[in-house]
Structure 1
Amino acid sequence: MKHVLALAVLAASAATGAHAQDFGFAGREFSVDLGVGVDVGPDYPGSDDAEAGPWLIWRNAGFGPRGSNLREGFAISPSFGTVGERDASDSDDLAGMKDIDRAYELGLRVSYGAGPVTAFGSVRKGFDGHEGLTGEVGARYRTELSDRVTLWSGLSFGYGDGDYNATYFGVTPEEAIGGRPAYDIGGGFNKASITFEAQYALTENTSLLGEIEYGKLIGDAADSPVVQDEYQPAIKFGVVRKFSFGF
């Protein structure tokens, strides 16, 4: 009987170890950088004026070895966004166009990390200003300059469904005037962006974060008669804190 119990204990221990290794949790942790900041960018898609707005930061979510900054495998996290209001009285180019309220966007982001490279895709539903779907797909490359400084360079493509693109780039027959014909636009990619991001660690878990985005409207969105500037640069600053959960 003692031999049977001993064998059972050994088998259970081996199974537990194999189970942890099979799922890759042994010695690993899930971490994410959360924070807030300021986003200075176009008032609305296609605008040639800038405004400051809130930046809700959810960055670098994923699994990795404990104590490592590399996040590997799949991760799902929330995705937030806002789009500034568009007031026809602010520009002669918008005379006769309907006003658009500030939009709030909520959705999900899926990412996959492999070493220094992370691919991602997001989708968000709009409320108030627009009722459509929008998001991005792209990839980022991570470079560790020192124990405190980390850089990311990235390329992404923004898209919108028919409702989103029609809200910001379309012109209805009622809004058409001389020099601004009616413009019907469907869903598709509307923006290409190159981003450069830097993070400076103040402490082990708290960092300063900055991002420069060089964006350009593309496709049918760039040809819209209401677009005042195809180039859509933005700059962001914020503070983030790292939260980790070990296994």
Structure 2
Amino acid sequence: MKKVTGLLLALSIQGLCLHTAIAQEQKAALVPLPSLDDFTMGKDGWSFGLGLGVEYESAYEGSDEFGFEPQPAGAVQWRSGDDIFFFAGEALGWRGLRSDTWLLEAIVGFEEGREESDSDDGRLDGLGDTDEGVELALQARRAFDADWRYWLDGRIVTGENGNLGIFGVGRRFGERTDGSGSEFSIVAVFHDSELANTEFGVDAAQAAASGLPETNLSGGFRSIGAHYNYRNYINDNWQIFGEVLYERYSGDITDSPVARSDYEAEVGIGFIYIF
């Protein structure tokens, strides 16, 4: 299974980098979670990381086609105490630590949408392209204690194509507070009817053009997901990172003719240079 392969790959890399990570001087991140970029080295002011990753992922939501795709990595960040403002790719955001156990985050980003050409096998022919648009993500994480060993997570993503809610629980592995190590989380995902039909619905015009049956979905429970993140320092400037993502769809989605698979999966790995 690709999920297991990606996890074993990340664990193997972790073992290879363990010696250099232990030897490195400890630097406190805003929150010691590998899923969050923090290039500030615990210092106020500007920081910058630039890198590249490669992902093996589903071609679109519900696709049974997979492929490799390069992805830029890194961000420009400005830190002031327990607040970090950042620009990463097509997203502008802020995250702040409150009372050592609350992490709040707000991000304005760009949703690319879906194109018929995303399917090399012609599975999306006749469905047209979904609209691109701006979306806002609000997140709150609550740790059980100040070392962020365990936490609860809640996120709301709202945009021009609909709304998404994510609620989960996670655990961090490793003892360092510089953002290196690994973490694992399990999440439940909910969406409204607008987003459900944008991604998995088929209206009358699409049905006529594609030959697929007309399908109208209601909002509610979307999926259950598992997410593994890994990050480590090779030396003072280089980071290696990786992730494995698996999302299992609910029955309503799997009944849609757009969903050719009942799951979505992604494996990624990359490197970042910190200036």
Q: Normalised by the shorter chain, which TM-score bucket?
A: 0.5 to 0.7
- 1:193 matches 2:225: yes
Quote the Cα distance in structure 2 between the aligned partners of 1:61 and 1:141.
20
Partner of 1:176, secondary structure, is helix
Residues 170 and 184, structure 2, Cα contact 8 Å, conserved in 1: yes
Q: Please report the TM-score for the alignment, with normalisation by the length of structure 1.
A: 0.66
> Residue 120 of structure 1: which of 153, 162, 168 is its match?
153
Deviation at 1:239, TM superposition (A): 5.3
Deviation at 1:40, TM superposition (A): 4.3
Deviation at 1:167, TM superposition (A): 0.6
Residue pairs, 1:1-247, within 5 angstroms: 30-31=30-31, 33-34=37-38, 38=53, 39-50=55-66, 52=69, 53-54=71-72, 56=88, 62=97, 72-79=100-107, 80=109, 82-83=111-112, 85-87=114-116, 90-102=120-132, 105-115=135-145, 116-127=149-160, 131-144=161-174, 150-176=181-207, 180-202=212-234, 207-238=239-270
What amino acid sits opposite 1:62 in the alignment?
A: L
Deviation at 1:238, TM superposition (A): 4.7
Residues 157 and 165, structure 2, Cα contact 8 Å, conserved in 1: yes
For the structure 1 residues 151 and 113, does the alpha-carbon distance in structure 2 shift closer, same or farther, using more than 3 Å as the test?
same
What amino acid sits opposite 1:74 in the alignment?
A: W
Q: Please report the TM-score for the alignment, with normalisation by the length of structure 2.
A: 0.60
CA offset digits 1:4-37 (Å, max 9, x no partner): xxxxxxxxxxxxxxxxxxxxxxxx9955634675
Deviation at 1:113, TM superposition (A): 1.0
Deviation at 1:90, TM superposition (A): 4.2
- Computing the radius of gyration from Cα coordinates, the structure with the larger value is 1
What amino acid sits opposite 1:33 in the alignment?
A: D
Quote the Cα distance in structure 2 between the aligned partners of 1:113 and 1:167.
34
Percentage of pairs with the same residue: 22
CA RMSD of aligned residues (A): 3.7
For the structure 1 residues 30 and 96, does the alpha-carbon distance in structure 2 shift closer, same or farther, using more than 3 Å as the test?
closer
For the structure 1 residues 60 and 76, does the alpha-carbon distance in structure 2 shift closer, same or farther, using more than 3 Å as the test?
closer
Quote the Cα distance in structure 2 between the aligned partners of 1:101 and 1:41.
21
Deviation at 1:43, TM superposition (A): 2.6
Quote the Cα distance in structure 2 between the aligned partners of 1:219 and 1:124.
22
Quote the Cα distance in structure 2 between the aligned partners of 1:174 and 1:104.
25
Residues 173 and 182, structure 2, Cα contact 8 Å, conserved in 1: yes
Unaligned runs of 5+ in 2: 1-27, 39-48, 74-87
Unaligned runs of 5+ in 1: 1-27, 65-71, 243-247
CA offset digits 1:74-110 (Å, max 9, x no partner): 2211345745522167444333222225555332111
Quote the Cα distance in structure 1 between the aligned partners of 2:98 and 2:222.
32
